[in-house]
Chains A and B, each alone.
Chain A
């Protein structure tokens, strides 16, 4: 639900009166839709931007990045959201920031911009600058960011089982191509991350080359400059975790980053949270 536009109690009361069954999750303001008498997207509440729909795993990156701070702390803070369309995570960031500070939302594909614009305006997000720009060139922008959400472009193999979205098969060539792109994005955003800045890296892919190995490689390149931060996840999510013991050399990647396997409830996902510290 979107606290930028409606308070929690009022929203729940209205949805229950319409016959929706919602259950609480580990994440404040996020509910699981247990039963819907009709599509939630056709309700006045949805059209008014009182709620947005996303997979439970997609909540993890923005929530783990910003939820520990009060909204008043975000004045004069800058956040970058890479590959922002369709804007669900951008809107979640704006909600956690209370529409304060500035979000720079990057989207390379101009075809995906209308959906991003529509979602941001529906959800009442007012602190965002949407930029049609290649995320591998963030280092050319003269802005330093306090937080970065890198929901990197990926092969999306985690989505395939749950949603059957992909119509074309993925080959090892695609995995390699995406891994190179992700590496470029990581490096580019890293160079414009302020000292003490934090970023979350996430992909909806099951391939370790795009997840654990990518972060392992990143850590080895920036050994003394980073701190991998732990991510809080709900207790009932423990069963979805997979520690990729064989795939990575760094123990910290095994311990502190999170791998979700696709289930009926959620997509396959990988999340890591990293802080930039001094050399």
Chain B
């Protein structure tokens, strides 16, 4: 696992994507005094968020690994995982939806029966009244909530269906913690 800071380009990609998904104009308040860290594994480049204190202690650990080769120490996880970069695009991860949820200005709120289906990893039919906030483009992923305003996952609205129906395609949902906890979180 390789840890490094985000390049300017990567930060711009991250910022643009977050703004689109959450429907906010600035990510400054969201990141506050925290640091963004790029964590590269064999599979993907992940972005993690950590406090200044955790960042400081992480650096001490990193330096000790560099100085002393005999320490077989591997950093496996740090702070909150916000998502991952792939093909010059940032994808929000399921691990961060609770962190992002208070800032979210465009969302879909599902009723109870649809909530259960969505948590089983299924796509569900929705009405326009389920969509809250202004939607600029349906091609953007959108965060999904239940009636209690708990985040459930991320979906994509599909509109080109017969009879003007709308479908919420499941991209990721919290049910992953039950369905594939061991495989999904393996690196």
Contact = CB atoms under 8 A, between A and B. Distances in A.
Given A14-B148, A114-B181, A75 B73 contact: no
A76 interface: yes
Contacts of A75: 53
A44 B152 contact: yes
B68 A133 contact: no
A122 interface: yes
A247 interface: no
Mostly, the A contact residues are mixed
A85 to B, nearest CB: 10
Contacts of B13: none
A9 to B, nearest CB: 14
A127 B77 CA distance: 11
Nearest to B151: A48
A174 interface: no
Contacts, number: 125
A117 B61 contact: no
- What is the predominant secondary structure among interface residues of chain B facing chain A? mixed
Contact of B71 (A44, A129, A137): A137
Nearest to B173: A47
Contacts of A214: none
Interface in A103-127: 104, 107, 110, 113-118, 120-122, 124, 126-127
Contacts of A137: 71
Interface in A1-27: 5, 14
Contacts of A128: 54, 77-79
B138 interface: no
A143 interface: yes
Contact of B60 (A49, A101, A143): A143
Interface of B: 49-51, 53-54, 57-58, 60-61, 63-64, 68, 70-81, 94-95, 98-99, 115, 119, 146, 148, 150-152, 174-175, 177-178, 181-187
Interface of A: 5, 14, 41-42, 44-45, 47-49, 75-76, 78, 100-102, 104, 107, 110, 113-118, 120-122, 124, 126-134, 137, 140-143
